[in-house]
Structures are given as structure tokens and as C-alpha cells.
């Protein structure tokens, strides 16, 4: 047990400077572009899924929350919202960068998520347009009170430090649990089970992705880096994962049945895409 704890702490502490630098850069970029990003997605119109998917790829604090509130006010379409959810990777990118994952691998994974998000978004909007043709949706104006809890107003250094500490704690806990499971069950046993389950693996990953905070992306990314799950399985969970966006959806958007349908749609697209990627044998 002491060896597992020591191994977990050493591996995690090595990531601290890389995580802080990455979050510092992200906070600076967000601080400079936050309002412009929101205005861009508001004015995206029929190109919403394209714009939303592209903006979602770039890790921004609370962007899925912003998109959720905009959808609740019917400023953006459901297709745009789903595109944002699917393309958002939450904590995957900072962890990948801190773990020195090859740039081509990162770009391939982000590219696949972006493509799936854009295509799914346009298809959803097209289908809804056909269904609602001739109907006029009642304009819905609500208070866009955004509860992003990023505290970016306190300064980018303080905010970046807070993000770093929070994710570091998550990484330590997740890595510790994974190491214990691997120690007692065996990495080869776990990996062979999940990797040889092109359908069950993505289904389980999708369930993990439904966790409404950054824990899901941390868990999935760390399991992938530990060679416990395949890239296809990880992508399934990351497609479903939308940070705290889903939690805000159930609070800001009236109609629990509609919210459940949106969640089920997101889950089906994420898991289905992961299964297809796995069956195609794509590697990263």
C-alpha cells in the first residue's frame, strides 16, 4: 500500500508545474476572449453547430454552462448546444499536455470530437426544422444568470492556481484508486476485459461521462493514460461529458422530460460514436 501511495504522489506531483502553466495560459486566453466568444455563438444562426463545435474544442471555464443558459433562453438551437457538449473535453487537454501526450494524438482526438459534434448538431437542427416546419416557437426570455464558479474576476493567477489545485486533488484520488484496482486485479486483466468489449466499454464510459463535473474527464483520461481503456472507449465518455453543463440544464431549462431527452440523445450519440470508432479499429 505504501508503494502505491508513493507511486501515486510522485507521478501526480510531477504534473503540478505543467498543469499550472497550462491553466494560466487558458485563463489568460479566456479572460481576453470570453465576451467575444459568447457574442459569436449568439450570432451564429444556422451555422451554430459549426461555431459552437469549434468554440467548444478550446477549453474555456464554464463555456458549456454559457451555452446551456443561451439554449434555455432559446438564443441558440438544440443542435448548437449538442455540438458544444460533444466537442467539449473539459480537463482532457490540460492532462494530456502535462503528460506530454504527442501533439498528433491530441489533435486527432480533438478533431474526431469536433467532427462528431458539428455533424450531429447540423443533423439535429435539420430534423427539428422538418418536424417544426410551419410552427413558431414562442420566444423565451429568461435571466441568463450564469453560475460558473470560476472566480476569474479574482485574477488569472489565482484562478489558475485554484484550478490546478482542484484538478491535482482529483488526479491524485483517481490515480490512487486506479492503482489499487490495477494492483489487486491486474492491469492486463482489466485492459483485456475492457479492450475486448467494443460495446460494453463505451457504454460504461458513457455512464462515467454523465458525472456533471470535471471528475468524469479526469477519470477517463487517466484510465486511458494508464492503458486501462482504449481511445475509442475514452472518446465515448468524453463525448458524453459536458462538465457542469448538464447540471445547469436541469436547473435553467424548464421541462424535465425535455432535459432527459437531451441527456439521452447526448449519451446515445457519444456511446454510438465510440462503438463505431472501436469497431472500425481506429488507433491514435
- How far apart (Å, rounded) are the C-alpha atoms in residues 226 and 185? 14
- Residue 143's pLDDT is 40
Among 69, 97, 68, 72, CA closest to 84: 68
Distance CA 92, CA 26 (A): 13
Residue 112, phi then psi, degrees to nearest 5:
-65, -45
* Residue at grid coordinates 453543463: 245
CB proximity list for 121: less than 8 A, separation 6 or greater: 48, 49, 50, 52, 53, 77, 79, 80, 82, 83, 86
Neighbouring residues of 182: CB distance < 8 A, sequence distance ≥ 6: 190, 226, 228
Closest CA to 160 of 277, 15, 28: 28
Question: Tens of pLDDT along the chain (284 residues)?
Answer: 777 787 778 767 876 786 688 667 767 766 665 666 666 776 677 888 999 899 888 766 567 877 887 888 788 899 999 999 999 877 788 889 888 899 999 999 999 999 999 999 999 999 998 988 756 554 443 443 344 444 455 677 888 788 778 778 877 887 788 778 767 777 667 666 666 678 888 999 999 888 876 778 888 898 899 888 889 999 999 999 987 788 889 888 888 999 999 999 999 999 999 999 998 887 77
For residues 207 and 10, give the distance between their C-alpha atoms in angstroms, rounded to a whole number: 30
Q: Could you give the CA distance from residue 160 to residue 25 in angstroms, rounded to a whole number? A: 8
Determine the Cα–Cα distance for residues 166 and 104; give it in Å rounded to an integer.
28
How far is the C-alpha of 114 from the C-alpha of 84, rounded, in Å?
Answer: 9
Number of H helices and E strands in the chain, helices first, is 14, 0
What's the confidence (pLDDT) of residue 283?
75
Residue 1: name the closest of 203, 248, 184, 158 by CA: 184
Degrees, nearest 5: CA angle 283-230-237: 110
The dihedral over CA atoms of 160, 162, 168, 173, expressed in degrees to the nearest 10, equals: -150
DSSP 76: S
227: alpha, beta or left? (left if phi > 0; alpha if psi -120 to 50):
left
Amino acid at each position: 500500500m505504501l508503494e502505491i501511495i508513493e507511486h501515486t504522489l510522485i507521478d501526480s506531483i510531477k504534473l503540478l508545474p505543467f498543469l499550472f502553466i497550462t491553466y494560466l495560459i487558458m485563463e489568460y486566453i479566456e479572460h481576453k476572449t470570453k465576451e467575444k466568444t459568447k457574442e459569436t455563438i449568439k450570432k451564429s444562426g444556422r451555422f451554430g453547430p459549426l461555431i459552437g463545435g469549434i468554440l467548444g474544442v478550446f477549453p474555456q471555464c464554464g463555456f458549456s454552462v454559457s451555452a446551456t443558459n443561451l439554449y434555455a433562453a432559446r438564443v441558440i438551437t438544440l443542435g448548437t448546444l449538442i455540438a458544444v457538449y460533444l466537442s467539449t473535453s473539459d480537463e482532457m487537454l490540460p492532462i494530456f499536455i502535462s503528460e506530454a501526450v504527442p501533439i498528433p494524438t491530441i489533435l486527432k482526438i480533438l478533431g474526431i470530437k469536433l467532427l462528431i459534434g458539428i455533424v450531429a448538431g447540423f443533423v439535429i437542427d435539420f430534423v427539428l426544422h422538418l418536424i417544426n416546419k410551419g410552427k413558431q416557437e414562442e420566444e423565451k426570455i429568461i435571466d441568463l444568470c450564469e453560475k460558473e464558479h470560476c472566480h476569474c474576476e479574482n485574477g488569472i493567477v489565482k484562478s489558475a492556481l485554484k484550478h490546478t489545485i482542484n484538478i491535482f486533488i482529483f488526479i491524485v484520488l483517481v490515480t490512487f484508486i486506479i492503482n489499487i484496482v490495477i494492483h489487486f486485479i491486474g492491469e492486463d486483466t482489466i485492459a483485456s476485459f475492457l479492450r475486448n468489449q467494443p460495446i460494453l466499454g463505451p457504454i460504461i464510459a458513457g455512464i462515467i461521462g454523465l458525472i456533471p463535473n470535471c471528475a468524469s474527464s479526469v477519470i477517463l483520461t487517466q484510465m486511458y493514460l494508464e492503458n486501462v481503456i482504449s481511445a475509442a472507449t475514452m472518446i465515448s465518455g468524453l463525448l458524453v461529458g459536458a462538465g457542469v453543463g448538464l447540471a445547469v440544464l436541469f436547473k435553467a431549462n424548464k421541462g424535465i422530460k425535455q432535459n432527459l431527452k437531451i441527456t439521452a440523445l447526448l449519451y446515445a450519440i457519444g456511446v454510438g460514436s465510440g462503438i463505431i470508432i472501436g469497431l472500425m479499429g481506429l488507433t491514435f
